[in-house]
A and B are shown apart, each in its own frame.
Chain A
């Protein structure tokens, strides 16, 4: 098998190949490290590559597997982490000068779980600085570039996760999502990313952006891989005050059960045309995706988009207040250590009042009820993952906001599980994502619908030309 074929195996395929002794964990680690060395200088997906550790973990996995000690489907699989997951003894920068050389002394709970599952850590991935603002053009590390066209952004803030997966530089990744930071780069890079229900995956050991809106979740090249990663990291964690004591189902079981009679709510009216509205090509691709879902047995039902539209105002108010509160001391003492984009967004929180914050939290309660009330008539919600394709660096203003509707914010505000799955390309060959959201703790539904769609199309098999 050629090096690039090896690097583009899905986790499911790689796990099967490992157990047939067609490849070894060391083969997988060496192939991905070689590819990172060959092409990442054009993408900047990685901030830190942990080559020695990866090879050491790969050799250990190889010994364990050959001795019959099988830790499960992630055993021997090379993965990477957004650089806000705390990793004991490994630099964790948040893509910022503020933490440029900071080395944590403990692992995030999710990192511990991946280690226990036998995954191999390739390194730490680039992001929007502190998971906020735009691409970090004035941070100490370069902004991540989109493998589909390096003149374009990846979307964020889990930028490196999207780029590394699309470029075959890792088999799976963990991102975080406070307003769309898993789903947007997944859509823009043509990969899959799920934001689980708030409380499903521990946030312990992940540098916060906004405590009440932050979600941790996996990104991968296909739905099954995403389900596998979610399985490994989900579950109650006493160290996370928001962690939910809810049983974790088998996310792979039922994945292939289809979507006959599924009722899909599309909150188009009063949402899709908000501000500058949704890009025409994106909406066309989204409508085609709905036709595919209909052909698989689903029914499309139009629902009121107003509460979804209002959700952004509440989400952003809460986000800037909580982000400012977390970073207040650094902003007071060394504000210029932050890049301009993230600094200006965070500082907005300094000029909102306690009443503004509580108003947003009251709106959250009300909008949560209004959005969830739709579940009396529909099973899931569908929308584009992003209102437009990834912008070019040359025309992008990292400080510009609110140019279109936020299709992702409502599911942070409500905590509902939501996924982005590739659903086509623009004329300019840039990926578009389909977003699916469901009731609380129904990640299995989200994964089943996305898997049905994925298997009926071939978008997830498309690869960017990089060599």
Chain B
């Protein structure tokens, strides 16, 4: 399990993502980001390498139109 994100890391990631967010907004955002990341991490425990994503590109779908 990856370690929890810090405010410094959040600030760096926001800057890289082109998001002009002030520190007070980043602080308010932090608990939600931690929750979102921990939810995604919990899903990693679920499956084996055989599981494929639900979004698979299919060529014939386009041909149908």
Q: State how many angstroms separate the Cβ of B46 from the closest Cβ of chain A.
A: 5
**0/1 string, A313-328, CB within 8 A of B gives 1:** 1101100100000000
User: Does B40 lie within 8 Å of A335, measured CB to CB?
Assistant: no
Does A313 lie within 8 Å of B39, measured CB to CB?
yes
Question: Within the assembled complex, what's the spacing in Å between the Cα atoms of A300 and B44?
Answer: 33
Does B1 make an interface contact (CB < 8 A)?
Answer: no
Residue A88, interface by CB 8 Å: no
Does A5 interact with chain B (Cβ within 8 Å)? no
Establish whether residues B40 and A362, one from each chain, have CB atoms under 8 Å apart when the complex forms. Answer: no
Q: Mark B31-54, 1 if CB is under 8 A from A, else 0.
A: 011011101101110110001111
Instruction: Check A332 against B17 for contact (C-beta < 8 Å).
Output: yes
Please judge, given known A-B contacts A238-B65, A320-B36, A363-B46, whether A351 and B13 are in contact too, CB under 8 Å: yes
Docked-complex contact B32 and A313, CB < 8 angstroms: no
Q: How far is the CA of A350 from the CA of B40 in the complex (A)?
A: 13
A-B pair count, CB < 8 Å, reads 98
B39 close to A351 (CB less than 8 A): no
Q: Select one of B5, B21, B42 contacting A313, CB under 8 A.
A: B42
Assess the B32–A356 pair: CB atoms within 8 A: no
Contact B43 A314 (CB under 8 A): yes
The residue from A331, A345, A348, A363 contacting B47, defined by CB atoms under 8 A apart? A363
Size class of the B contact interface (CB-based, 8 Å): 20 to 34
Inter-chain contacts of A348 with B (CB < 8 A): 29, 32-33, 35-36
Q: Which residue of B lies closest to A365 (CB)?
A: B54
Q: Is B28's beta carbon under 8 Å from chain A?
A: yes
List 20 contacting pairs A-B, 8 Å CB cutoff, sorted by A.
Answer: A238-B65, A313-B42, A313-B43, A332-B18, A332-B20, A335-B19, A335-B20, A345-B32, A347-B21, A348-B29, A348-B32, A351-B14, A359-B43, A361-B55, A362-B43, A362-B52, A363-B51, A364-B53, A365-B54, A368-B54
Closest residue of B by beta carbon distance from A239: B65
- Which chain B residues have a beta carbon within 8 Å of chain A's beta carbons? 5, 10, 13-14, 17-21, 25, 28-29, 32-33, 35-37, 39-40, 42-44, 46-47, 51-55, 61, 64-65
By the criterion CB–CB under 8 Å, are B37 and A356 in contact? yes
Q: Assess whether A241 is interfacial by the CB under 8 Å rule.
A: yes
A352 adjacent to B47 (CB under 8 Å): no
Report the minimal beta-carbon distance from A332 to chain B, rounded to whole angstroms.
5
A362–B46 alpha-carbon span in the complex (Å): 9
Q: Is A366 an interface residue (CB 8 A)?
A: yes
Looking at the assembled complex, report how far the CB atom of A43 sits from the nearest CB atom of chain B, in whole angstroms: 30
Query: Given known contacts A347-B19, A401-B35, is B52 in contact with A365 (CB within 8 Å)?
Result: yes
Chain A residue contacts of B51, Cβ below 8 A? 362-363, 365-366
| In-complex Cβ contact of A362 among B17, B33, B47, B61 (8 A) | B47
